Structure formats: C-alpha cells, structure tokens
Chain A
C-alpha cells in the first residue's frame, strides 16, 4: 500500500521527484535521484524496528479538541497498570504536543545512546516520546512545513529505542494530512492493528470524523471502533444530566450504525478529567468511581480484546507497490 500524492507522475517517469505533486512525498528524494522504483528505505528499517512491537494502535479524529491525547494517555496508563505489559506512547502532534503535560512529564529531555533515542520513562513499563521533549521552552513554536514534520515522524519511528513493547499507542493531531499519511506510510510494512477514532456527539465533529473514517478506508487502515467523548454532563450540584454538546444528528451511535463501525463506548464530561490532565495525573486513578472512568475502562478492555483477536501477522500482507 502506498498513498501516492494526487497527480503523482509515476516513479518511473522523467518527472519523478520533480513534479509539484512530488513535494512532501516521502519518496521524493529517491525518485529525483533516479532510484525510481524502490520505496523509502526507512520503511524497511522501521519494519525491522517494529518487530519488537506486538500491537500498534493509532488514535485519530478528523476533529480537534475531542480528547485524542486524553484518550491516548489514559489508554497507556491503563495498559501499563499491569507491570508485565510494556507500553509505548508516541505523540506525533508536532505543532501541539500535549502528551508531555498530560503525562506529567513536562520539562523532561530525551537522551541519545548508541542504540538510538531513548524515550522518557514514566514507569519502568511506560515509555513516552514527543516533540515536546525536544523543545527547550514551553513558548517554543514548531513552525514546520509538511516535509520537515514527516522527517521527524520518520525519526520517531526509526530511531527511538523502544525495546520490547506490547502496545505502541500513537497519538495524532487533528486532520488528514502530512502526519497521518506519513505514519501510515512508514508503518505500512510493519502492520498497524487498527485505529481508535474519537469524536464528540455534535454534527460539527461527526462531519470531520466521517472524513477521517473515509481516510482510513482509503489507506486500508482497520478501524477498531469509535469513542464518543464529552457525551453528557452530570451537574455536581443537582445531579441532573445536560447535553453540553448535543447530538443533533444522532451522535456517534447513529454515525456508527450508518457506517457499520463499532461504537466502543460513550464517555461523559467530568470536570475532573481536565483537572487531572492539567496536573499530569491519571484520572482513572484520581477518580476511580467516576462514570467517565468506568466508561474508559470498558472501552480499553474492548480494545485489548480486539488486539488479542486480530493478530497482525495473520492478516493478508499489505506490501507497498
């Protein structure tokens, strides 16, 4: 599988690597140098690197601010509660890297060793990598165009020494652009278990999420299921429920039924979630009795079940053309 840019002139053509459509494609340099037919050697290198990673899960949404990073972080926390499970959390949101803050690792720096970059370990069995760790100040802006972002993602996948990992969780930025194409392309040979798609109930989110689902189909990325976040709010004073983000078109439930995709669960809005994230703590641990925590745990269980049932090695190979 290769997601070629629109109007790709073809790897064998005289315009290979030189056309305007070629800019930003990971194969551009290769094509321009006349090495024509082969894919980016990094794809094979990453395949090798990923041999020690059992399960790979992408957390996606078309929409911003629905809770991808919150979900990714807490998926990592929950899986790592079993000290025999090795978990890796990779944040490929280059412009808005939230994971260091949510994991309570702000200010940590990354170290290089002979075997590559070492992730920042929150626990012995929970390693984290983010561009946030490479920035020296919280005010530093990463003002990069697509090709440079792609290069960073390639490095994250190829040069980070993750070691033996049971679950690699990849948190993504909103949208369907460079970062998403790159992570799918670079992991093409390594096989991704699937994507968890996060949304909120209202149509303005679902609108973008449908596009993300269409992107997944286009690049043949299996979808584990959809999580509807911020699904209802219970007033701490009167305990009555309100819909802050009303599901005017039926919410994720209707969309999932329509598109025949599993709805993994609905998570209500709990003000403690934001607080825990701001303070870099797991809200699953902070507020174990919250309905939000219960919902999260049930969703995470379903994801674990999916991963153990769908072992990547048994799927048909998706060899790049």
Chain B
C-alpha cells in the first residue's frame, strides 16, 4: 500500500459535476451522513477553494484547525467522531474573505490538502470539488491517483443546460482514467407542500438519459425538498431528522449502491 496520510483510507470517492449549483456539496454531505448511519467511518475533503460550502452544512463553520506531527488534524463534526471534515473554509480568517487565487496556487493547496491531512483510519473519504474541469480537478485526480480511488459520482440536474456541461465532465473522467461509479440526478421535481402536485421545476429526465447515452450506471434521482435545504442551512442531520422525506429514500438508495460498489482490481 502507498504510504502517507491516505494509507488508512479504504475507499476514496470524488463528487464531480461540470455544472455549478447542482448539489455536489449537498450530495457529498448527505452521502457521508448516510454512510455513517450505515456504520462507516467517513471523512469529507472539501477542495472547493473559492466556495467552501461544507463547514456550514455540518455546523462546523469557524472551527479551529490544529496541526500534529503528520499534518492537519481534520475536524470531527459529530460526538461519536465518525465523520471528520477538512475544508479551506477552516483556514480563512474572515468567512467573507474571497480566496482570489490563480490556478498554480490552487494546485499547491490541493496537493497539500490531499497529502497533509492526518485522516487516520477511514472507511470512506468523500472529496467534494468545485464545478468545472480545471486546476482543482486535475490536481485532485493526480494527487489521489496512487491511492486508486473507488471512482467518481457525477451530479447533474435534469435540464439540458446542466447535462450539456456534465457530458464534458464525463469526458474528463474518461481522459484522466477516473472510473464513474454513476450519475445522480438532483433537484428532480418539487412536491408542493400545499397540494402534493409534483412540478418539474428544472425539467425532467436528463440525468437518466445521460447515463444511458454515456454507458454509466444511473444511481438515482433526488427530489427538491425544502426540508433538506433547510437542514443544510442550519447544519442539522437531515438523514436523522427526516426519514420519511422522499429525498431521504433517494439518498439512502444512492449510499447503498456505493456500499455495494467493489474496489477496482489494480
């Protein structure tokens, strides 16, 4: 096995999308929580340097980050210490301060983040990324390559404008040799809380069709649920609080598929 801080991590999953705002950070967080509820020890690495959303989603904003001999100590976000998190958000002195860095500096930080966080023993490391196919993505894939990631989950919303960008992300995966575990279609319909009519706010069908066209597994559709949005805003555990939400069922099914995905043979 490769030495270093990732040696104790059994499976690494990258969460990607060509498109911004489709729910990568949401899916990363919910997947991590679902895996924890399945009894796993999970780490989350947030490499979105310009828009690090995850600390707030887990009520961890403003937490201090400490160093130990092996590097940065990730922040535990739960009492049982089953979910740990590292994000550039923790390194910012002022939360409204913009990280205005060009590519090379971003590359350097991502390499550090990947190699210098003392994760310890983890069942899963979920790596959340910013939208696109640029410096951060190349740096993350290169730095993680020696550890044979389980693969990438690619997130889209149903409409063609999103699918248009996500197709390019699938090409990125192919070109960089990153296996696609599957596609998640997020924001798949909204059920009106007043009358239960389901409206396809962001169109429909794009995710499943893309999976078919690209020959990759379709992991499921997650509907729009304001309860989920609110949980994330307030840093609460949606999986625990809303087990009857349609979003919960979709997220659990996705987590189950991840648990069933075998590691690739080297």
Contact = CB atoms under 8 A, between A and B. Distances in A.
A242 B21 contact: no
Interface string B135-171: 1011000000000000000000101110011011111
Contact of B51 (A138, A142, A174): A174
B20 A174 contact: yes
Contacts of A126: none
B246 interface: no
A180 B19 CA distance: 17
Nearest to A64: B20
Given A23-B104, A62-B50, A243-B226, A175 B130 contact: yes
A139 B170 contact: yes
Interface in A122-169: 138-147, 149
A17 B98 CA distance: 25
B165 A96 contact: yes
A238 interface: yes
Contacts of A45: none
Contact of B159 (A175, A236, A278): A278
Contacts of B130: 64, 174-175
Nearest to B164: A101
A111 to B, nearest CB: 23
Contacts, number: 226
B134 interface: yes
B53 A204 contact: yes
Given A139-B170, A147-B103, A173 B132 contact: yes
Contact of B175 (A66, A69, A143, A240): A143
A6 B21 contact: no
Interface stretch (B79-87, B118-126, B229-237, B258-266): B229-237
A203 B233 contact: yes
Given A146-B103, A175-B50, A207-B95, A236 B197 contact: yes
B223 to A, nearest CB: 11
A44 interface: no
B192 interface: yes
A5 B102 contact: yes
B171 A174 contact: no
Interface string B91-121: 0000111111111111110000000000000
A211 interface: yes
Contact of A208 (B50, B135, B161): B50
Interface in A198-252: 200, 202-204, 207-208, 210-215, 218, 233, 235-238, 240, 242-246, 248-249
Interface residues of A, number: 71
Given A63-B20, A214-B97, A277 B159 contact: yes
Contact of A248 (B18, B171, B201, B234): B234
A25 interface: yes
B193 interface: yes
B56 A207 contact: yes
A65 B122 CA distance: 32
B161 A277 contact: yes
Contact of A139 (B103, B167, B226, B230): B167
Contacts of B161: 69, 98, 101-102, 274, 277-278
Given A6-B101, A95-B132, A244 B190 contact: yes
B200 interface: yes
B1 interface: no
Contacts of B100: 3, 176-177, 180-181, 215, 218
17 contacts: A20-B104, A21-B105, A23-B102, A23-B104, A24-B104, A25-B102, A63-B20, A64-B130, A95-B131, A95-B132, A96-B18, A141-B18, A143-B138, A144-B134, A214-B96, A237-B195, A240-B192
Given A173-B131, A245-B229, 9 more contacts: A21-B105, A65-B22, A139-B168, A145-B107, A146-B102, A146-B106, A177-B102, A236-B199, A275-B203
